[in-house]
């Protein structure tokens, strides 16, 4: 089977070294196996996605010396696919409308520290009303329908535990899909055999595995990697003030040299498992 990997950034901000490392790992995984590497722009969030970020992402990746093997796929052009998947899940009776506001959800989810906060199912079984809503999955019903599931991470079997994520959102109030639904549909549609991504998405994979089972989609092999951390040991994030690749590029840094340093693990302290 041909190895197919992908890098799937959301164009809601500029990429930093953590993204570069993730893209390189995914790219090199495919290249080392004679496989294909794809670029997918996850721009279903119409309010936060920006065209100028897309252009910058493409330039950043080229600057790093990465190449991809097919036209870039934009999730914003694929909303009908997500709507079809959503309709299938609705027809199974596994979704419900949630009318909760952000404030109501924040209050309901302010669990005592230590506990994993999940949506408590306030709107499950609530009567329909004329108000904006998102679609949530009835997780207990979905898990019962799908039965026991597992997936592999770095070749090790992992028992899927989607129930721990609660009744996640599958279509947002302002978009016909959520990250979980779009990523599951697209990884299958693009024939992705191996998902190489940060360990911050490990929990999400339990949900993706469940959706694959419900939608009769294949399950890729997963390879979650540790996250790059700053000098202070904190993981790099946009809000952490990590230098944007675009700024490094503008300052005249050599992208190939940056990529080589990341590959060699020079100055790449990592956090997480
Ligand atoms: N779009 C997601 C992000 O930028 C990543 C999706 C994925 O790799 O599954 O965090």
pLDDT, tens digit, for every residue of 68-116?
999 999 999 999 999 999 999 999 999 999 999 988 887 777 655 556 5
Q: Give yes or no for residue 185 CB within 6 A of ligand 1.
A: no
Q: Give yes or no for residue 13 CB within 6 A of ligand 1.
A: no
Residue 242: name the closest of 26, 7, 15 by CA. Answer: 15
Q: Give yes or no for residue 215 CB within 6 A of ligand 1.
A: no
Q: Give yes or no for residue 79 CB within 6 A of ligand 1.
A: no
Q: Where are the beta strands (DSSP E) in the chain?
A: 4-7, 36-41, 73-74, 95-98, 134-137, 150-153, 156-159, 169-171, 194-198, 221-225, 227-228, 270-271
Catalytic residue among 79, 149, 238, 260: 238
Centroid of ligand 1 to alpha carbon of 41 (angstroms) = 9
Separation between Cα atoms, residue 138 and residue 165, nearest integer Å: 11
173 belongs to the catalytic site: no
> Mutation test of ligand 1: which of 27, 76, 153, 179 has the most ligand atoms closer than 8 Å to its C-beta?
179
Q: Which CATH number fits domain 1-77+226-273: 3.40.50.620, 3.30.420.300, 3.10.20.30, 3.40.50.720?
A: 3.40.50.620
User: Environment class of residue 159 by beta-carbon count within 10 Å: exposed (0-12), middle (13-18) or buried (19+)?
Assistant: exposed
**According to the model, what pLDDT value does residue 104 have?**
84
**According to the model, what pLDDT value does residue 272 have?**
54
Q: Which residue's alpha carbon is at the smallest distance from atom 7 of ligand 1?
A: 8
Count the neighbouring beta carbons within 10 Å of the beta carbon of residue 30. 23
3-state secondary structure of 215: coil
- Residue ranges per domain, the chain? 1-77+226-273, 79-189+199-218
pTM of the model: 0.93
Separation between Cα atoms, residue 188 and residue 236, nearest integer Å: 29
CATH code at 79-189+199-218: 3.40.50.620
Question: With a cut of 70, which residues of the chain have pLDDT below it?
Answer: 110-116, 230-241, 267-273
């Amino acid at each position: 089977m041909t190895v197919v990997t992908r890098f799937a950034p959301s164009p809601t901000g500029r990429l930093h070294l953590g993204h570069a490392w993730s893209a390189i790992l995914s790219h090199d995984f495919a290249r080392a196996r004679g496989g294909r590497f794809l670029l997918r722009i996850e721009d279903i969030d119409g309010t936060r996605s920006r065209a100028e970020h897309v252009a910058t992402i493409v330039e950043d990746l080229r600057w790093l010396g990465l190449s991809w093997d097919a036209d870039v796929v934009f999730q914003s052009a694929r909303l009908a696919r997500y709507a079809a998947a959503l309709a299938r899940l609705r027809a199974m009776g596994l979704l419900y409308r949630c009318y909760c506001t952000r404030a109501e959800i924040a209050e309901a989810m302010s669990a005592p520290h230590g506990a994993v906060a999940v949506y408590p199912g306030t709107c499950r079984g609530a009567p329909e009303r004329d108000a904006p809503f998102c679609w949530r999955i009835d997780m207990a019903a979905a898990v019962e329908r799908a039965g026991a599931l597992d997936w592999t991470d770095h070749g090790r079997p992992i028992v899927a535990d989607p129930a721990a994520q609660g009744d996640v959102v599958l279509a947002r109030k302002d978009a016909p899909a959520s990250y979980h639904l779009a990523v599951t549909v697209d990884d299958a549609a693009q024939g992705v055999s191996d998902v190489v991504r940060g360990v911050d998405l490990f929990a999400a994979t339990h949900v993706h595995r469940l959706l694959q089972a419900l939608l009769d989609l294949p399950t890729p092999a997963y390879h979650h990697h540790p996250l790059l951390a700053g000098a202070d040991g904190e993981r790099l994030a946009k809000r952490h003030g990590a230098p944007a690749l675009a700024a490094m590029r503008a300052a005249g840094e050599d992208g190939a040299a940056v990529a080589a340093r990341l590959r060699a693990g020079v100055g790449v302290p990592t956090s997480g498992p």
